Amino acid sequence: METVLSGIRSTGNLHLGNYFGAIRNFVKMQYEHRCYFFIADYHSLTTHPTPGDLHRNVRQVLVEYLAAGIDPEAATLYIQSDVPEVTELYLLLNMNAYMGELERCTSFKEKIRKQPDNINAGLLTYPVLMAADILIHRAHKVPVGKDQEQHLEMARTFGNRFNRLYQTDYFPEPYAYNFGAELVKIPGLDGGTKMGKSEGEGNAIFLADEPAAIRKKVMRAVTDSGPAIPGEAMSQPVENLFNLMRAISSNDTVDHFMDAYNKATIRYGDMKKQLAEDIIAFTTPLREKILEIDADNDYLSKVAKMGAEKARESASKTVNDVRRIIGFRGF
């Protein structure tokens, strides 16, 4: 049986990118594998949320994970900060993580650009904490979107380095996973190539968005001003729209608009109307579940407690083993 681990940072509501990248198809694995789904709330501290926001966001991700179909009895669904063993492994791994490789990490360079006034050490060591999340359960498969590929490579580096240093094969190599297919990258609606929480207004469709908000965002999505010019490559914003449609709509719908695009008869207004309705049909059952679970505090606290217990059982075993391998001994 393989161990599968999937994580989401608690920085706000989940969007379609999170859902397709890290949840959708992976929920079915929970009955066949040892699955961990967790909320990375320590990671969210790099942007200094207020205590109120921190708690609200963790709760929201928990609700949305459950609404998306995670069965807390079958899988282990937990909050990172409920498992303090992660921080000990993070400290131990930090000793073998080198400044140069951390500074070269793409997500770190991006953060430096985006938040030049807050380049904290947590940002630099973000991939080490992420490696600790993965290695603490000795995971093999890590369902993630394309943006996390480099972080997975670093987790493998840190695990392998530990194994080499202590001449052991304790940590298996974790891989970014998507059923043998390409990793997913859901585009944004603002012409950018990635749907993301911090990409700005109108970029992301959230699972909890009301139909009116979805229609508004999709209708405002960036497209070309006229139909395709024969011989010219498809523009990025139009390609984004098609990619979003491929994830959400039926093949017939995609073929219909692709055909119109190729014949240069496409009307982007029509395409967006169709896309908005398909997204609404897709998210409505999720939104209804979100509202239902959100109202049930007792259930949420039961789920969190159960998840913390199960996750700590696995995590404390790893930390004990690692301490022993490193050479910490009692007297």
Residues annotated as catalytic (active site), given as ranges = 111, 194, 197
Q: Which segments of the chain are extended strands (E)?
A: 3-9, 34-40, 76-79, 141-143, 175-177
Q: Which of 64, 133, 209, 278 binds ligand TYM (CB under 6 A)?
A: 133
Q: Which two tokens stand for residue 118?
A: 């807050």
Q: How far is the CB of 18 from ligand TYM (least distance, A)?
A: 4
Q: Which segments of 144-212 are extended strands (E)?
A: 175-177
What is the CB-side half-sphere exposure of residue 298 using CA atoms within 13 A? Answer: 0
Please give the residues from 22 up to 41 whose contact with ligand TYM meets the rule CB under 6 A.
Answer: 22, 40
Nearest C-alpha neighbor of 299 from the set 68, 82, 83, 66? 66
Query: Quick check: 201 and 208 in contact, CB under 8 A?
Result: no
Q: Which two tokens stand for residue 212?
A: 């009116």
Q: Which amino acid is at 50?
A: T
Q: Which of 58, 154, 184, 319 binds ligand TYM (CB under 6 A)?
A: 184
Select the span of 140-148, 219-227, 246-254, 308-316 touching ligand TYM (CB under 6 A): 140-148
Q: How far is the CB of 17 from ligand TYM (least distance, A)?
A: 3
Q: Which of 63, 186, 205, 244 binds ligand TYM (CB under 6 A)?
A: 186
Select the span of 13-21, 49-57, 282-290, 310-318 touching ligand TYM (CB under 6 A): 13-21
Assess 79 for contact with ligand TYM (CB under 6 A): no
Assess 49 for contact with ligand TYM (CB under 6 A): no
Assess 46 for contact with ligand TYM (CB under 6 A): no
CA distances for 107 relative to 16, 94, 115, 221, angstroms: 21, 18, 12, 26
Binding stretches for ligand TYM (CB under 6 A): 5-9, 17-18, 20-22, 40, 43, 130, 133-134, 142, 144-145, 147-148, 151, 184-186, 194-196
